Amino acid sequence: ILNVEQSPQSLHVQEGDSTNFTCSFPSSNFYALHWYRWETAKSPEALFVMTLNGDEKKKGRISATLNTKEGYSYLYIKGSQPEDSATYLCAFMSGNNRKLIWGLGTSLAVNP
């Protein structure tokens, strides 16, 4: 059974703090690892699609790393702002069929 785990489940930080979340996924049959930012009642906002082992991607204050051999990815937010408050979801895409298998997400709340 393919499973994607994310930790922590929720996180409360102060404005200006830097933070990171973990996504673990199956290390076999890897095709891609997706990170999404999801606010209630909106469609998921794609942050990163990562395909190569050792890949590091950056988008403003948010960055992500990927280790496909051990099956984990980290998402980092530098200098958190209240507008970063959202649920951050990772999803594993296997090579077989391109469907996404999702983690439960990390809910981030940034206090001003």
Partner 1 sequence: EPEVTQTPSHQVTQMGQEVILRCVPISNHLYFYWYRQILGQKVEFLVSFYNNEISEKSEIFDDQFSVERPDGSNFTLKIRSTKLEDSAMYFCASSQGAGYTFGSGTRLTVV
Is the CB of 14 or the CB of 43 nearer to partner 1?
43
Is the CB of 27 or the CB of 52 nearer to partner 1?
52
C-alpha triplet 31, 47, 32: angle, nearest 5°: 5
β-partners of residue 74 are 22, 65
Residue 51 found at the interface with partner 1 (CB under 8 A)? yes
Shortest spacing between CB 44 and partner 1, in angstroms? 5
Q: Report the chain's terminal Cα–Cα distance, integer Å.
A: 41
Kindly tell me which residue out of 44, 57, 65, 85 binds partner 1, with binding defined by CB under 8 A.
44
Tokens (6 digits) for 100 = 């996404």
Is the CB of 71 or the CB of 103 nearer to partner 1?
103
Residue 46 found at the interface with partner 1 (CB under 8 A)? yes
Kindly tell me which residue out of 32, 62, 66, 108 binds partner 1, with binding defined by CB under 8 A.
32
Shortest spacing between CB 45 and partner 1, in angstroms? 9
CA distance 103 to 92: 8
Query: Closest Cα to residue 61, out of 109, 17, 107, 23?
Result: 17
CA distance 22 to 54: 15
Task: Enumerate binding residues for partner 1 (CB under 8 A).
Answer: 31-32, 34, 41-44, 46, 49, 51, 89, 91, 93, 97-104
